[in-house]
Amino acid sequence: MDKLTDLHLDALSEVFNIGAGRAAASLSEIVSEEVKLSVPSIEFRKCADLTAKLLSLDQSQLGVVKQKFSGAFTADASLLFTEDNALEIMRDMMGSQISVEELAEFEQEAMCELGNIILNACLSAMADMLEIQLESSLPSYSVSNSDDYIQSIIGGEDQTYIMILHIDLEIERRQVNGRLIFLFSSSSLSTLRVQIDTFLHKI
């Protein structure tokens, strides 16, 4: 892999900081509360090195929203929530008058929408800053255990890299930890590096 320098990572962190800020603004409108954001941190790893520990997710059941992005480069993006968190955010989104049965009925749709807001906010911030175009597929939501999720990623080509973005979104009454995972092929990662260089040279 062409190494990304600290300056590349700094630029990417700032992009995702902007993305997460946009996402938090939308989320806070939805749940009518302030959403606190942690400082984002980014790391790149080989897919094969991915473990549950690296994702800092201590629960085995995950809610996963997946979306594909394509354009200047391609990336498979996943937003991971612990499942308890997912249901609580949904309850906030849909209002407390909704019954548990109804909640289950809307789960798929609501989680896709939530993922759509967060993933698109992050990717559109990246597209704006790098002055590129990225298109997104429709999001899909599933609940899976963390080992299965990791297997589904490691199962791909071994020349694939993952970018793990750690951002904690905290909604006043509840601690919600989300992780964003972006899967890049080697060629997409090289393209991304070139795009960041172009951006940095313009400063």
Partner 1 sequence: MTSAPAPGSPSPRLLIVDDSRVSRMMIRAFVLDKQPDWHITEAISGDAAIAMVDQQSFDYCTMDINMPGTLGIAASEQILEKFPAMRIVIFSANIQECLRSRAAELGAHFVAKPVTEKSVGQAITFFKGEGG
Rounded CA separation 22/32 (Å): 15
Rounded CA separation 153/54 (Å): 14
- Among residue numbers 172 through 201, which ones bind partner 1 (CB under 8 A)? 200
> Least CB distance from residue 200 to partner 1, whole Å?
7
Q: Which conformational region is residue 72 in: left (phi greater than 0), alpha (psi within -120 to 50 degrees), or beta?
A: alpha
Contact 193, 44 (CB under 8 A): no
Contact 172, 33 (CB under 8 A): yes
**For residues 37 and 93, which CB has a smaller minimum distance to partner 1 in the complex?**
37
Site mask, partner 1, residues 87-126, x = CB under 8 A? --------------------------------------x-
Contact 72, 42 (CB under 8 A): no
> Least CB distance from residue 53 to partner 1, whole Å?
23
Site mask, partner 1, residues 123-162, x = CB under 8 A? --x--xx---------------------------------
CB atoms within 10 A of CB 80: 23
Site mask, partner 1, residues 14-43, x = CB under 8 A? x--xxxxxx-xx--x-----xx-xxx----
Contacts with partner 1 by CB under 8 A lie at 7, 10-11, 13-14, 17-22, 24-25, 28, 34-35, 37-39, 125, 128-129, 200, 203
